Amino acid sequence: MPSTPLPVLGEVDSPPKLDAARLRRLALDCGADDAGVVAIGHPALDDQRADILRFYPRTKALLAVVCRMNREPIRNPARSVANLEFHSTGEDVNDVCRAVVTALERDGVPAINPPMGFPMEAERWPEKMWVVSHKPIAVAAGLGMMGIHRNVIHPKFGNFILLGTVLLGVEATEYDRPIDFNPCLSCKLCVAACPVGAIAPDGRFDLASCYTHNYREFMGGFGDWAEHVADAKSGLDLRKNVTRQETVSVWQSLAFGPNYKAAYCLSVCPAGEDVIGPFRADRKGFLNEIVKPLQAKEETVYVVPKSDAEDHVTKRFPHKPVKHVRGTLLPRSITGFLSGMPHTFQRGRSAGLSAVFHFTFTGKEPRTATVVIRDQTLRVADGHEGTADLRLTADSETWLGFLAKERSLVWALLRRTIRIKGSPRLLVAFGKCFPS
């Protein structure tokens, strides 16, 4: 960490500004491998600016930092080795950001460092639990571009990086710009390696399938395990649904830290100046050494029953055992239900469905919305648009209770807290697109 104060520039009659070059140097001196500065008014922050300012109203600028991960551990089929690298580098990111804030505070500059990952605003779950979305900030700061696998690819380090952000209460003298090219090669190796098919060849992403398997031992998956424990009549009864190995794995995550089940999309990505050499020199050798061991690995893959992920695993990786689990991305608000549908929509399960749905919610959260499912695509809009094939009117709390499997749809229909106008088959077909 530098021993000299970080200059705050500006005349007496104008707001002081941080010297951007010295700010980047501070980040590197504190241990970052790269850094960039973004103004709070940058268009890339439009969808999270209000949340950032609500969390830290003094924010005028943001310092984005990158810490490089070691590649070989991430590529190893033993996820224990990979997860050690994820956790260790994550701690480095938090240490770097804290050191930056410490240095700034000593110089009288207000700043704050949200956590690198593992969102902690748990009262908001399963909706937005995080304070800052680091990826779009890093892209805006010129630290890389988003790849097809939804990870930021740094032009030098590839996707073997973790990101952090420091919120600054002072403007900077200048700001960085996004890079003018995308390091993503569109090689589709992430598509080939993903065990649940969350990354489609056309670039579409199935967040629900990724979340269910890769994040199994994070927030939602642990809740599902705990419910199995609560539902079991005895230890023997519990083992019918949860193996001892799964319980040990959950305990390890609690004791050591949540572990990713796959993250193979990062493992196989060859993009980045420091990374691409072996791929260019010998693509077949790269596939045999890096990609195929992950594909061939015998491992339990966690899927929601009757989901696209289940279809993908059974067809593409028949040697990988499938474990049915309950979906945990269940909304707790109507806003969450509507905004979450694009993330839980199962394209494969919507095949053959072409319909317009009008939703009218009453009670605690009055809202109207239109959902169009056509050609295996989904569109959600506020208000009622066009002619509906099915109209559904529901008390908002009853509907959310039904989605959480806490209330009976049949009982709600009998009591008319949920009413439909149109073919019930359309409601069944709609439900198949969002298995839980």
SS3 434: coil
In the predicted structure, residue 114 carries a pLDDT above the cut 60: yes
According to DSSP, the residues that pair with 373 across neighbouring strands are 355, 378
Q: pTM for this one?
A: 0.90
According to DSSP, the residues that pair with 371 across neighbouring strands are 357, 380
HSE-up (13 A, CA, CB side) for residue 332: 9
Domain boundary residue among 141, 172, 203?
172
Q: What local confidence, expressed as pLDDT, does residue 241 receive?
A: 86
In the predicted structure, residue 130 carries a pLDDT above the cut 70: yes
Q: Does a structural domain hold residue 150?
A: yes
Q: Does a structural domain hold residue 1?
A: no
Looking at the fold, whether 139 and 245 belong to one and the same domain comes out as: no
Looking at the fold, whether 49 and 167 belong to one and the same domain comes out as: yes
Q: What local confidence, expressed as pLDDT, does residue 256 receive?
A: 85
The 3-state secondary structure of 147-162, one letter per residue: CCCCCEEECCCECCEE
Q: Does a structural domain hold residue 3?
A: no
Query: Which domain covers residue 133, as residue numbers?
Result: 8-172
Percent of the residues in the chain that have a pLDDT greater than 70, as a whole number? 96
Q: Does a structural domain hold residue 193?
A: yes
Looking at the fold, whether 30 and 129 belong to one and the same domain comes out as: yes
Looking at the fold, whether 140 and 164 belong to one and the same domain comes out as: yes
In the predicted structure, residue 123 carries a pLDDT above the cut 80: no
Q: What local confidence, expressed as pLDDT, does residue 12 receive?
A: 44
Looking at the fold, whether 111 and 142 belong to one and the same domain comes out as: yes
Looking at the fold, whether 162 and 264 belong to one and the same domain comes out as: no
Q: Does a structural domain hold residue 67?
A: yes
d(CA 301, CA 322): 5
Residue 147's contacts (CB-CB under 8 Å, 6 or more residues apart) are 153, 159, 182, 183, 184, 190, 269, 271
Looking at the fold, whether 304 and 267 belong to one and the same domain comes out as: yes
Residues 190-221 have pLDDT tens digits of 999 999 999 999 889 999 999 999 999 887 78
Looking at the fold, whether 387 and 310 belong to one and the same domain comes out as: no
Looking at the fold, whether 288 and 221 belong to one and the same domain comes out as: yes
Domain boundary residue among 122, 145, 172?
172
CATH of the domain at 52: 3.40.109
Looking at the fold, whether 318 and 338 belong to one and the same domain comes out as: no
Q: Does a structural domain hold residue 391?
A: yes
Looking at the fold, whether 155 and 14 belong to one and the same domain comes out as: yes
Looking at the fold, whether 263 and 294 belong to one and the same domain comes out as: yes
d(CA 47, CA 104): 27
Domain boundary residue among 142, 172, 202?
172
Confidence of residue 13 (pLDDT cuts 50, 70, 90): very low
